[in-house]
Chain A
């Protein structure tokens, strides 16, 4: 079914943050660092302050004078509101000019004179890890307890996870393979530009933003400004991780405080590339197999380039330790990671990253193994994929896996086993490839309630569902309305959804990591169940009937033998709206039916497969993806149309970084691919046909058996394409994107 907001969206009526106006608001422009690494010696903003239309200029001096906390961060408190002593990447925030209109602010920003002392920059992980490398941060300030920095280096997090004895595993292996894979940074290119409006009135902050984590942002604002804060997130035009954490809201609030009036900031596309990027990945994977292809040991070492601030990059690295060995039953595994500061823009998750890169590494290597051992790639995977009851590297008991069924369904989508139709000319080659993955969701280390949902029955007889989930295009309002309607036993027309306003909805951790369907879904069902009980109790009193004889009907509470108490009447007669708060408790341990306790490193594990058929032009090196199959075990597809669209969207989006997207800096740390004209994105013309298949096996604990799937399409794409190119050409690529000149070079080296 279409989403509830569909008509609003096709008529242009939907308001995103950039469409909002607040009375008396002024407009901000950020002055950004031209250098990747420099000490800020002095800032002279006098001329800018005197420029026409300028309200104020926020620099480190004003931040210090305001007595607010000057540094923020979600896992590391390492990001200054504006540069304090240093700038750490080209585009780092140095000052904010507030003016009557955006053009005046932009013009005045050029009048600020900043004196920099240039410092040597570390533009990639290799440089940052070198002996004696310049330090991006001289000291560390992790606030997430699981993060382990190495003092005196640029490593802001080093960690590992293991099971079995990996060295012993390699010793017993028939063959051992080692490959290194790399992927450069890309940007999410969510079309809805990062934007926010901050207002301080009567000692309280209100921020309108398109950030995907309104409640963590609210806490951060309260900590920095020591006043109450409200965060409102309207519809968001895509984020894909680029808005998973705040980057502008605190500094714009500081500007609003200084200006004494509301301030609005909307970034340009170029500035979004200086705000959050997907980090560079470098991973070495070593795999030992028996002669029959059974994997006996796997060792993965990888680095993540978190950029100048570890706002979320360090945690991304940590989270994906647990999926780096893939959806395979492997007795001996070791995964090690370093998250490393560099002088690039801060990194952010990107639709499942770095699971995507891990999958690229282990799946591409698996096809090399398949070819070496003479085993069909699908068959080799079938021999190794996990099944229900297997224990994962984390110690989790895997349930509702069905990874093999996903692989079969995805492979069938491109007629696996049937040779490709011959291309028009002999200079083109066609081939097919598959991939499988396992993906986690954000899960607290201890048993706790991470989010809530409220439902109230108001005097208009409508059930209002209040959720913290940000509607970023994934259709969450509709999914939650469906949960509420099903849970209450009423029609969708009785449901109204209020989303992501910290003053109106219960706490939710974030809309990230494919977590909302499961977590918020359960909270909504819990609220529905509690509200049902409360409503029946009230009706029982009003109707003088036993509550057990009553049920919620389409228009009111129904008794078996006739009278219906309309919902609006019920509320009026009961003296006011009825309301219930639901929650979803996760984490801790899972108790298996035999009584064994397993840790819950992920509330659920997602399994999916992709299959791709490609055509390689051996004259130009161009790779075209002709068609893709994909399948994911979603537990239960609450809205199958949305699931398929989400799956297709993930595949299509990731084709960009697989085929041609990448961010490039020159030796001086200047971003060369700063604008869309130099950073092509997938279009309808580069898109294949898709066969998205839904695999449904209800997941115990999921709302109606559902689990999340928002990122999985992305995760499985590069490996399937790389394997198809391998099949077509015999060349195994160890990097993305598959730029045509690199493909041609490799073909000619054969």
Chain B
């Protein structure tokens, strides 16, 4: 690994100051699971590494007032294992449990997994499906960006030089207002070989049903199927006000597959990735509906 200047700010203000000073030449690391590997491989050769791992303002997670606030340093593993998250934000926990391997999940942070901008990873689709936003801070400003607008291309995000992602906020899914109504979420991925591998595709689905089993809200987000996560708006819209049956689920899945924008690569040709998108959406949608209290035969 090439030598670099190593800075370890201990407050958020110090961190943003350091970033303002070093700008583009600074690489922010948190868990390090991706950044250290990229530096070892020589893909990244920063002059300065800013380790934000000890900035207290970036740590901690809490649910209050109908919002889950995940400090950027919240590890994937703690999202996976936190019973409170599992209960109310189950989709996030499910996606977290599928990230890479347990060694990575122990170190990797939610902020890092979003800022890295890797198209294949599991957290962005789930966070987008949950309607999450990122808080971006710099030495001079603070702004909030919906995660649906955060990704700009492979490894490219809305982060400006000098900006740091401090927190991700996730609105609590609205509970059903009528008896028997419910919310269900499901994250699935398809890999060649072991599930730790980079996936051919992944999909996050969130649905909310009313007491009659009608779909009040649906979000479908695909990962690894384009330069950025694909929000399948048209596909999800087919579910509006409907009581999903097998035929509708197949239609939704097919429409979602059309929304995908995959590239031909080692993990398969375009036609195949679209097909996998359909299969995943169909399976994840059925699973989400089941969790929401509606089993489709």
| A741 and B268 contact, CB distance less than 8 A | yes
Residue from B190, B193, B194, B198 within 8 A of A677 (CB atoms): B198
Q: Which of A718-742 contact B (CB under 8 A)?
A: 739-741
Q: Are B268 and A107 in contact (CB under 8 A)?
A: no
Which of B56-64, B174-182, B241-249, B272-280 touches A? B272-280
Interface string of A682-699 (1 = CB under 8 A from B): 110110000000000000
Contact A741 B266 (CB under 8 A): no
Question: In the complex the two chains form, is A620's CB within 8 Å of B197's CB?
Answer: no
A20 to B265, CA, bound (A): 40
Kindly identify which residue among A659, A672, A740 contacts B268, using a CB–CB cutoff of 8 Å.
A740
Q: How far is the CB of A392 from chain B (nearest CB, A)?
A: 38
* A50 within 8 A of partner (CB): no
A373 to B297, CA, bound (A): 41
Which of B2, B193, B275 is A686 in contact with, Cβ under 8 Å?
B193
CB distance from B168 to the nearest CB of A (A): 25
Contacts of B3 in A (CB 8 A): 103
Are B275 and A744 within 8 A (Cβ)? yes
Is the pair B196, A683 in contact by a Cβ cutoff of 8 Å? yes
Residue of B nearest to A740 (CB): B192
B275 contacts across to A, CB distance below 8 A: 620, 744
Q: Please name the residue on chain A nearest to B268 by beta carbon.
A: A741
A682 near B279 (CB under 8 angstroms)? no
Q: What separation, in Å, do the CA atoms of A740 and B190 have in the docked complex?
A: 11
Q: Are B266 and A673 in contact (CB under 8 A)?
A: yes
- Whether A680 contacts B194 by the Cβ 8 Å rule is yes
Which residues of the other chain, A, contact B268 by a CB distance below 8 angstroms?
739-741
Q: Would you call B193 and A660 a contact (CB within 8 A)? A: yes
Within 8 A of A (CB), among B1-57: 1-3, 41
Q: Does A664 contact B (CB under 8 A)?
A: yes
Question: Known interface pairs A677-B198, A740-B268, A741-B268. Does A660 touch B279 (Cβ–Cβ under 8 Å)?
Answer: no
Interface range for B: 20 to 34
Select the residue from A621, A656, A680, A683 with max chain B CB neighbours within 10 A.
A680
Q: Is B269 in contact with A685, judged by CB distance below 8 angstroms?
A: no
A681 within 8 A of B: yes
**Bound Cα distance A672, B267 (Å):** 12
Question: A741 to B193, alpha carbons, bound, how many Å?
Answer: 13
Within 8 A of A (CB), among B246-297: 266, 268-269, 272, 275-276, 279
A151 to chain B, nearest CB (A): 38
Flag whether B153 is at the interface (Cβ < 8 A): no
Q: Does B195 interact with chain A (Cβ within 8 Å)?
A: yes
Contact A680 B193 (CB under 8 A): yes
- Contact indicator B279/A620 (Cβ below 8 Å): yes
Q: A107-B2, A620-B279, A744-B272 are in contact. Are A660 and B192 (CB under 8 A)?
A: yes
- Are the C-beta atoms of B269 and A741 separated by less than 8 Å? yes
Interface size class of A (residues with CB under 8 A): 20 to 34
Say how far B118's CB is from chain A's closest CB, in angstroms.
11
Instruction: With both chains docked as a complex, state the minimum distance between the C-beta of B49 and any C-beta of chain A, in angstroms.
Output: 16
The reply on A678 being an interface residue by CB < 8 A is yes
Partner of B194, one of A683, A739, A745: A683
Closest partner residue, chain B, to A672 (CB atom): B266
Residue of B nearest to A664 (CB): B266
Residues of B within 8 A of A664 (CB): 266
**Chain A stretch 629-681: residues in CB contact (< 8 A) with chain B:** 656, 659-660, 664, 672-673, 675, 677-678, 680-681
B68-99 vs A, Cβ < 8 Å mask (1 yes, 0 no): 00000000000000000000000000000000
Q: Decide if B192 touches A683 in the complex (CB within 8 Å).
A: no
Complex Cα gap A129–B133 (Å): 58
Give every chain B residue within 8 A of A683 (Cβ-Cβ).
193-194, 196
Q: Given A103-B1, A620-B276, are A680 and B269 neighbors across the interface (CB < 8 Å)?
A: no
Measured CB to CB, the closest approach of chain B to A184, in angstroms, equals 12
Instruction: Determine if A202 is an interface residue (Cβ-Cβ < 8 Å).
Output: no
Say whether A686 contacts B194, CB under 8 Å: yes
Question: Once the chains are docked, how many angstroms separate the CA of A387 from the CA of B190?
Answer: 46
Q: Pick the contact of A681 from B193, B269, B279 — CB < 8 Å?
A: B193
Chain A residues with CB below 8 A from B200, complex form? 740
CA distance A103 to B2 in the complex (A): 7
Residue in contact with A685 in the complex, picked from B2, B190, B194, B279, CB distance below 8 Å: B194
Given contacts A107-B2, A620-B276, A620-B279, whether A678 and B194 have CB atoms under 8 Å apart is no
Interface residues of A in 85-113 (CB under 8 A from B): 103, 107
Chain B nearest CB from A268 CB (Å) reads 9
Rounded to whole angstroms, the CA-CA distance of A683 and B272 in the bound complex is 24
Residue of B1, B2, B198, B279 with highest tally of chain A CB at under 10 A: B279
A619 sits at the interface (CB 8 A):
yes
* Chain A residues positioned under 8 Å from B191 (CB to CB): 680
Min C-beta distance of A407 to chain B, whole Å:
29
Measured between beta carbons, the chain B residues less than 8 angstroms from A103 are 1-3
Bound Cα distance A672, B265 (Å) = 10
A611 to chain B, nearest CB (A): 22
How many whole Å from A438's CB to the nearest CB in chain B?
30
Q: Which of A107, A656, A740 has the most CB of B within 10 A?
A: A740
Q: How far is the CA of A107 from the CA of B42 in the complex (A)?
A: 10
Q: How far is the CB of B194 from chain A (nearest CB, A)?
A: 4
Q: Which residues of A contact B190 (CB under 8 A)?
A: 620, 622
Q: How far is the CA of A619 from the CA of B275 in the complex (A)?
A: 8
Q: How far is the CA of A685 from the CA of B195 in the complex (A)?
A: 8
| Of B191, B198, B269, most A-chain CB atoms within 10 Å | B191
Q: Give 5 A-B contacts (CB < 8 Å), ordered by A residue.
A: A620-B279, A677-B197, A680-B197, A739-B268, A744-B272
Known pairs A622-B192, A660-B192 / 6 extra A-B pairs, C-beta < 8 Å: A107-B2, A620-B276, A677-B198, A680-B192, A683-B196, A741-B272
Partner-B contacts on A (CB < 8 A): 103, 107, 619-622, 656, 659-660, 664, 672-673, 675, 677-678, 680-683, 685-686, 739-741, 744-745
